[in-house]
Chain A
Amino acid sequence: AQSVTQLDSHVSVSEGTPVLLRCNYSSSYSPSLFWYVQHPNKGLQLLLKYTSAATLVKGINGFEAEFKKSETSFHLTKPSAHMSDAAEYFCVVVFGNQFYFGTGTSLTVIP
């Protein structure tokens, strides 16, 4: 069975400090993995995706994620948080035509 778990429902960081949003997945097969971001009152925007190429994936706005098969993780990181990064972040496992969404992590950036 496929599933995805976002370990933190809320994360708060100070502006300029690193961001770590955690995601673990369960899949019987090699999955495709995505991170989407949703700003308030907006739709979901693709941040980055992993599809069995390089394990370190770079996305937009300075975000990146590393696929670790041994840990079944796909954590999202950014070296330095910006105020505009405050949003909801969703980790997604894709298997076939099904998208399995995590419950989301709300990121707050403190000035």
Chain B
Amino acid sequence: DAGVIQSPRHEVTEMGQEVTLRCKPISGHDYLFWYRQTMMRGLELLIYFNNNVPIDDSGMPEDRFSAKMPNASFSTLKIQPSEPRDSAVYFCASRTTADTQYFGPGTRLTVL
């Protein structure tokens, strides 16, 4: 298995632009998680899905952030409009009902 796949690996954009981050979980995993990692705040859970349904989005910082999971093999995290304080590394992770999460390599987002 290729593991969790994220794209793009790096994204540089200007303030106000829309940003879409993509994730393909490991096949057969029914939980998907989005995290954000910054030096100041460490690793934060943004949202997670179970069987494509959002279960807890309390970590989503504000309405500019949205996440979807249209099917079991794909999820997106969208930021619109983006702001410089959104600059971070965004990780996607997946797991089965067993509790080990497997992380993707991350997307490093820079908003100028």
Contacts and interface: CB of A to CB of B under 8 A. Distances in A.
Interface string A52-94: 0000000000000000000000000000000000000010001
Contact of A99 (B45, B50, B108): B45
Contacts of B99: 32, 49, 51, 94
B42 A103 contact: yes
A43 B105 CA distance: 4
Interface string B78-111: 0000000000000101000001111111101000
A28 interface: no
Contact of B31 (A43, A45, A97, A103): A97
Interface of B is mostly: strand
B103 A44 contact: yes
B43 A101 contact: yes
A43 B104 contact: yes
Give the size category of B's interface with A.
Answer: 20 to 34
Contacts of A104: 42-43
Given A42-B105, A43-B105, A43-B106, A101 B100 contact: no
B34 interface: no
A90 B48 contact: no
Contacts of B103: 36, 43-45
B42 A46 contact: no
A41 B107 CA distance: 10
24 contacts: A42-B105, A42-B106, A43-B4, A43-B103, A43-B105, A43-B106, A44-B93, A45-B103, A46-B100, A46-B101, A46-B102, A49-B99, A51-B99, A94-B99, A97-B31, A97-B48, A97-B55, A97-B56, A98-B45, A99-B33, A99-B45, A103-B42, A104-B42, A104-B43
Given A46-B101, A46-B102, A97-B31, 14 more contacts: A32-B99, A42-B105, A42-B106, A43-B4, A43-B104, A43-B105, A44-B103, A46-B100, A49-B99, A99-B33, A99-B45, A101-B43, A104-B42, A104-B43
